């Protein structure tokens, strides 16, 4: 079966950027990533859709072979944060979450939204700075659609 995972690698002056998109499952073909000493890597997860148990195993093995100075993660979707909170070793200890999505729901319109929380704007050093007010199409206040104490468990460890 064909891989539904798409990874673009871009070698930038100060870090290596990997854009990870699609589905991470048993058919995922993950590229060999060559690492220069004292280099950082940024994973941009915009477009990362889903991951199953075999995908989790492949992901952990793939990352364990990389020896970067720091691992940065940006645009982390809910499916990624759920695994980060539940799977030990899902990302290396020397990782930093730069931004992640938080799901919201409107009890009035049944509308759903994913709001991007950015380091420095919404969180810093493991703590939430501000919960944004999110409005539906009727300008009614939407509610966060996860238990914050459970969903945000990763913050103290990976949002330095």
CA distances to 37, 109, 119, 123, 151 from 83, rounded to whole Å, are 29, 29, 20, 20, 10
CA distances to 6, 15, 30 from 9, rounded to whole Å, are 10, 11, 11
The phi, psi pair for 88, rounded to 5°, reads -65, 130
Q: Do the domain assignments include residue 117?
A: no
CATH number for the domain spanning 93: value is 3.30.750
Q: Do the domain assignments include residue 153?
A: no
How far is it, in rounded angstroms, from Cα 150 to Cα 160?
A: 18
Q: Do the domain assignments include residue 151?
A: no
Domain total in the chain: 1
Cβ proximity of 16 and 40 under 8 Å: yes
Residue-level pLDDT at 130: 83
Q: Which domain covers residue 77, as residue numbers?
A: 5-97
Q: Do the domain assignments include residue 125?
A: no
- pLDDT tens sequence for the chain (160 residues): 678 999 999 999 989 999 999 999 999 999 989 877 789 999 999 999 999 999 999 999 999 989 899 999 999 999 999 999 999 999 999 999 999 999 999 999 999 999 999 999 999 988 999 889 999 999 999 999 999 999 999 999 998 7
Q: What is the pTM of this model?
A: 0.93
Query: What does R_g of the chain's alpha carbons equal in angstroms?
Result: 17
Q: Do the domain assignments include residue 141?
A: no
Residue-level pLDDT at 63: 94
Q: Do the domain assignments include residue 157?
A: no
Q: Do the domain assignments include residue 111?
A: no
Tokens of 70: 């720091």
How far is it, in rounded angstroms, from Cα 90 to Cα 57?
A: 9
How far is it, in rounded angstroms, from Cα 113 to Cα 152?
A: 17
Q: Do the domain assignments include residue 156?
A: no
């Amino acid at each position: 079966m064909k891989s539904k995972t798409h990874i673009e690698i871009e070698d930038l002056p100060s870090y290596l950027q990997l854009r990870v998109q699609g589905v991470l499952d048993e058919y995922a073909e993950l590229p060999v990533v060559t690492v220069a000493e004292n280099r950082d890597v940024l994973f941009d997860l915009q477009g990362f859709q889903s991951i199953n148990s075999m995908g989790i195993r492949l992901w952990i093995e793939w990352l364990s072979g990389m020896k970067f100075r720091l691992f940065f993660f940006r645009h982390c979707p809910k499916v990624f944060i759920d695994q980060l909170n539940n799977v030990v070793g899902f990302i290396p200890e020397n990782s930093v979450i730069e931004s992640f999505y938080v799901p919201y729901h409107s009890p009035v319109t049944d509308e759903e939204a994913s709001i991007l929380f950015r380091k420095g704007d919404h969180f810093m050093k493991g703590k939430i700075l501000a919960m944004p007010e999110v409005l539906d199409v009727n300008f009614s206040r939407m509610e966060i659609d996860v238990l914050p104490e459970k969903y945000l468990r990763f913050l103290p460890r990976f949002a330095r």
